[in-house]
């Protein structure tokens, strides 16, 4: 998502990480394996220790990863910044071919990679095919703004930080070795298609055999655990700059909102169970503009949404208020006027009749599904599901005042409450 193709290859940038708490620095197999390899690269032990201290303390800024090179600004303990680069040999085209052949021979590897997972066996299997993914002695070449001619605390800190990046995404290792995730997956797809072509169409499996195999299949994986917070999308703060026509801040905002949405959908699925989850209608572009605007974008993104949605700045602000009171249903009440007829009208009238005592009932005038109080800037809107939505006139415009109620008197009382800030 944060990969810009600058022609020479792909660059990914990872936001700076907070200081590492607790004992473990690298939490996954990939992070730990990287650290083991790092400690075996014959980097000076003192530099490694100094680097580890800096990396743990959060002194490494955003890390940019490109084929053959990682870069970050690393701060000394006195906050002096140094640009540190570490170069790692890219795999040759021939080595990549061998690697892809190896992966393609093992169906499990391809399936996992296409699922954006990196099986831990990959390192060993690649090694057997003569391809070293992890760095060996002398493989990590330092360049640092501090002027050191060999590894210094800054380049060592950068190397340590890579362990944390690999925790987040082990594909970073393959990118350092020269292949971005997309190029790799494309190549695997191409190999899969080619081998499918060679062996002809699949012949199928006997149904009884397939059914019997169900018993020996591994059980389904555990339900995922809901992370405490939505993930933080990768940083777009990169040297390469976005391609023409890409608005980096808008893209960063979209990525962040997508993470929030994914988190809430996962939370909902875990709460309600996958089966019970009702299929949600695909949001329209108009709806989505309001949903995004409700996510508190910066001014520039908000202005684009206001223009793109055709609502204008004030109109969008009102739509966002509606959204916060009840999502798509509230937005429909804001935008749609519909004629109440037949049974719905009879029910609406009965509800209005019984909501107040005779002497307290406000005088209402009605038009379509809207009932306005005579002599007061408040209105009730009826939604098709029979709920009443309070509206209030502010600066000449009807705006949603609160969430809906089944009872018109309750709804009207919340419309008459203190204006929103």
Please report whether residue 144 would count as binding Zn ion according to CB under 5 A: yes
End-to-end CA separation in angstroms for the chain: 37
Contacts of Zn ion in 222-241 (CB under 5 A): none
- How far, in Å, CA of 99 to CA of 166, rounded? 19
- How far, in Å, CA of 170 to CA of 190, rounded? 22
Q: Give the shortest CB-144-to-Zn ion separation in angstroms.
A: 3
Strand ranges (DSSP E) for 118-196? 140-144
Q: Give the shortest CB-235-to-Zn ion separation in angstroms.
A: 22
If phi > 0 it is left, if psi is from -120 to 50 it is alpha, else beta; for residue 337 that is: beta
Total binding residues toward Zn ion, as defined by CB under 5 A: 6
Q: How far is CA 44 from CA 71, 147, 152, 156, 419, in A?
A: 20, 17, 9, 9, 66
Q: Give the shortest CB-50-to-Zn ion separation in angstroms.
A: 10
Which of the stretches 97-105, 128-136, 148-156, 281-289 binds Zn ion when contact is defined by CB under 5 A? 148-156
State the binding string over 80-99 for Zn ion (x if CB under 5 A, else -).
Answer: --x-----------------
Which of the stretches 20-28, 75-83, 121-129, 207-215 binds Zn ion when contact is defined by CB under 5 A? 75-83
Please report whether residue 151 would count as binding Zn ion according to CB under 5 A: no
Q: Is the separation of the CB atoms in 300 and 251 below 8 Å?
A: no
- Retrieve residue 205's tokens: 């499996």
Which of the stretches 153-161, 334-342, 345-353, 394-402 binds Zn ion when contact is defined by CB under 5 A? 153-161
Residue 261 CB partners (closer than 8 Å, separation 6+): none
Half-sphere exposure of 5 (CA within 13 A, CB side): 6
Residue 146 or 256: which CB sits closer to Zn ion? 146
Residue 74 or 301: which CB sits closer to Zn ion? 74
Q: Which of 20, 26, 152, 352 binds Zn ion (CB under 5 A)?
A: 152
Q: Which of 154, 179, 311, 321 binds Zn ion (CB under 5 A)?
A: 154
Q: Give the shortest CB-19-to-Zn ion separation in angstroms.
A: 20
Please report whether residue 294 would count as binding Zn ion according to CB under 5 A: no
Residue 144 or 188: which CB sits closer to Zn ion? 144
Residue 83 or 106: which CB sits closer to Zn ion? 83
Residue 144 or 348: which CB sits closer to Zn ion? 144
Q: What angle do CA 196, 198, 202 make, to 5 degrees?
A: 45
Residue 147 or 200: which CB sits closer to Zn ion? 147
Q: Give the shortest CB-46-to-Zn ion separation in angstroms.
A: 13
Q: Give the shortest CB-85-to-Zn ion separation in angstroms.
A: 10
Residue 58 or 242: which CB sits closer to Zn ion? 58
**Strand pairing partners for 87?**
69, 141
Residue 147 CB partners (closer than 8 Å, separation 6+): none
**In what side-by-side order are the strands of the sheet with 397-400?**
364-367, 370-373, 378-382, 388-394, 397-400
Contacts of Zn ion in 185-204 (CB under 5 A): none
Residue 151 or 164: which CB sits closer to Zn ion? 151
Q: Give the shortest CB-147-to-Zn ion separation in angstroms.
A: 7
CB count within 10 Å of CB 137 equals 10
Residue 145 or 377: which CB sits closer to Zn ion? 145
Q: Which of 87, 129, 146, 317 binds Zn ion (CB under 5 A)?
A: 146
Q: Is the separation of the CB atoms in 148 and 142 below 8 Å?
A: yes
- How far, in Å, CA of 129 to CA of 201, rounded? 29
Q: Give me the count of residues in the chain.
A: 421
Q: Give the shortest CB-18-to-Zn ion separation in angstroms.
A: 22
Considering only CA atoms, which of 40, 63, 20 is closest in space to residue 234? 63
DSSP character for 119? Answer: -
Residue 156 or 409: which CB sits closer to Zn ion? 156
Q: Give the shortest CB-52-to-Zn ion separation in angstroms.
A: 15
Considering only CA atoms, which of 261, 299, 307 is closest in space to residue 283? 261
Q: Give the shortest CB-82-to-Zn ion separation in angstroms.
A: 5
Residue 77 or 397: which CB sits closer to Zn ion? 77
- Retrieve residue 164's tokens: 């944390």
Maximum alpha-carbon separation in the chain: 91
Q: Give the shortest CB-49-to-Zn ion separation in angstroms.
A: 15
Footprint of Zn ion on this chain (CB under 5 A)?
Answer: 82, 144, 146, 148, 152, 154
């Amino acid at each position: 998502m944060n990969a810009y193709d600058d022609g020479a290859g792909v660059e990914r940038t990872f936001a700076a990480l907070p200081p590492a708490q607790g004992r473990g620095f690298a939490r996954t197999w990939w992070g730990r394996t990287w650290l083991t390899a790092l400690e075996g690269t014959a980097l000076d032990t003192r530099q490694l220790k100094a680097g580890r201290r800096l990396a743990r303390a959060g002194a490494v800024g955003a890390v940019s990863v490109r084929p053959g090179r990682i870069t970050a600004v690393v701060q000394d303990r006195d906050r002096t910044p140094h640009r540190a680069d570490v170069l790692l040999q890219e795999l040759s085209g021939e080595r990549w071919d061998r690697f892809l052949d190896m992966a393609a021979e093992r169906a499990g590897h391809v399936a996992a990679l296409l699922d954006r997972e990196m099986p831990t066996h990959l390192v060993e299997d690649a090694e057997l095919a003569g391809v070293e993914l992890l760095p060996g002695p002398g493989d990590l070449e330092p360049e640092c703004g501090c002027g050191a001619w060999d590894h210094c605390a800054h380049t060592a800190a950068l190397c340590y930080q890579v362990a944390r990046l690999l925790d987040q995404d082990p594909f970073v290792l393959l990118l350092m070795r020269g292949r971005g995730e997309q190029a790799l997956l494309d190549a695997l797809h191409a190999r899969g298609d080619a081998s499918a072509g060679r062996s002809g169409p699949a012949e199928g499996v006997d149904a009884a055999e397939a059914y019997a195999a169900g018993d020996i299949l591994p059980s389904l994986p555990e339900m995922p655990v809901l992370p405490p917070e939505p993930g933080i999308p990768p940083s777009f703060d990169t040297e390469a700059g976005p391609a023409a026509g890409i608005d980096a801040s808008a893209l960063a905002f979209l990525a962040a909102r997508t993470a929030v949405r994914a988190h809430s959908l996962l939370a909902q699925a875990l709460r309600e169970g996958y089966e019970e989850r009702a299929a949600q209608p695909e949001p329209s572009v108009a709806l989505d503009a309001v949903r995004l605007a409700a996510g508190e974008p910066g001014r520039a993104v908000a202005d684009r949404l206001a223009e793109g949605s055709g609502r204008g700045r004030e109109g969008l602000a009102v739509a966002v208020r509606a959204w916060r009171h009840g999502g798509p249903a509230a937005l429909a009440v804001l935008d749609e006027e519909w004629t109440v007829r037949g049974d719905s009208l009879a029910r609406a009238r009965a509800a209005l009749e019984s909501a107040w005592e005779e002497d307290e009932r406000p005088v209402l005038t009605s038009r379509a599904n809207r009932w306005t109080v005579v002599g007061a800037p408040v209105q009730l809107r009826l939604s098709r599901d029979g709920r009443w939505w309070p509206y209030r006139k502010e600066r000449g415009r009807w705006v949603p005042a609160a969430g809906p109620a089944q009872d018109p008197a309750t709804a009207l009382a919340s419309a008459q409450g203190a204006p929103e800030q």
